[in-house]
Amino acid sequence: MESFGITVTEHLLIHQKENPYATGQLTRLITELIFSAKIIEREVRKAGLVDILGMTGDVNIQGEKVRKLDVFANQVLIYRMQRSGVICAVSSEENADIIEVPDDLPKGSYLIIFDPLDGSTNIDVNVNIGTIFSIYRKITEGTECATEDFLRKGYEQVSAGYFLYGTSTMLVYTTGEGVHGFTLDPSVGEFLLSHPNITIRETGRTYSINESNLMYWDERIKKAVNYFKSSENLRGKPYNARYIGSLVADFHRNLFDGGIFMYPADKKDPSKPKGKLRLLCEAAPLSFVVEQAGGAATDGKQRILDIKAESLHVRTPLFIGSKKDVEMATKIMTE
């Protein structure tokens, strides 16, 4: 019988082994995430046609200018997550504090952290952008969530993944049972399984880093980057340089083609000594995905998933991708 495709709901409920978290509650949450992504995708696709481009004139908690599409994506996700009936609060890259589910709405024992539209500086030039999400179970007693429920180590995540608004719209996620990719079929408005059991090459062929920051790096980072630019490496020739400037797009390409993405600590902005990327809404979810795909992720010293978040918006250096490439970069930087 023709399969007519495998939906995310089917994949969660039938194709996941007896995962204690691949329950109806998690399925409900991911279903609401998918609905949010479809609404965001609709606006992203027509961004050039309506007055949803450009700036709002505001600045977010990160000190970054906020774009109208950022605000829209953030509002959609907060609204839909609060009505999922299975979470107690959300934390967004765009908001200083956690946002509780109002008392008149049903609550649950999950919490979600997201970057609603990562790479948003690329929106106006039609470059791929994405939504990154990270899901934990609450640990404090009672139905109310507390900030400490969010200050976790990445290995405690129940699920994580991202939506990529690119040439096609994809969902790539894990619940700890491997990494699976789903592609949106616009003709039926459904994400269908397109890339089951994604694995990343042990040694890649691409390195991704913003080399305009060279003068702000310390010598160990320069040595690690030169390793990939030389022929004295596991490839025996220089790696290809690819850098889109949109984390989800750079990560996704390296996941499929093999490679390493690096955003090291730098001296460029004294307010961001650990670099630009956030631990909870960027590094930890993508590190859960890459490890489930057979890759690795460190902050240049230790495993990202072992780092406990000391605050909601704490930043971290990030070296993520093919296992042997990340191991080598980390070895060079800790010698």
List interacting residues with ligand P6P (CB under 6 A).
118-119, 121, 210, 245-247, 276
At its nearest, how many Å lie between ligand P6P and the CB of residue 250? 6
Return the number of the residue (12 or 265) whose C-beta is nearest ligand P6P.
Answer: 265
At its nearest, how many Å lie between ligand P6P and the CB of residue 51? 22
Return the number of the residue (227 or 263) whose C-beta is nearest ligand P6P.
Answer: 263
Q: Which amino acid is at 88?
A: C
Contact 164, 172 (CB under 8 A): yes
Return the number of the residue (196 or 245) whose C-beta is nearest ligand P6P.
Answer: 245
Return the number of the residue (137 or 253) whose C-beta is nearest ligand P6P.
Answer: 253
At its nearest, how many Å lie between ligand P6P and the CB of residue 171? 18
Cα gap 125→123, rounded to integer Å: 6
Contact 128, 119 (CB under 8 A): yes
> In the chain, what are the helix, strand and coil shares in percent, each to the nearest 5?
35, 25, 40
Cα gap 309→220, rounded to integer Å: 25
Contact 274, 317 (CB under 8 A): yes
Return the number of the residue (89 or 160) whose C-beta is nearest ligand P6P.
Answer: 160
> Which DSSP state fits 151?
S
Cα gap 95→97, rounded to integer Å: 6
What token pair was written down for 305? 């998933």
SS3 of 53, please?
coil
Contact 6, 149 (CB under 8 A): no
At its nearest, how many Å lie between ligand P6P and the CB of residue 249? 8
- Other beta carbons within 10 Å of 85: 14
At its nearest, how many Å lie between ligand P6P and the CB of residue 316? 13
Ramachandran sector of residue 151 (left: φ over 0; alpha: ψ -120 to 50; beta: rest): beta
Return the number of the residue (19 or 121) whose C-beta is nearest ligand P6P.
Answer: 121
At its nearest, how many Å lie between ligand P6P and the CB of residue 208? 8
At its nearest, how many Å lie between ligand P6P and the CB of residue 318? 9
Return the number of the residue (70 or 291) whose C-beta is nearest ligand P6P.
Answer: 70
Alpha carbons within 13 angstroms on the beta-carbon side of residue 34 total: 22
Q: Which amino acid is at 147?
A: T
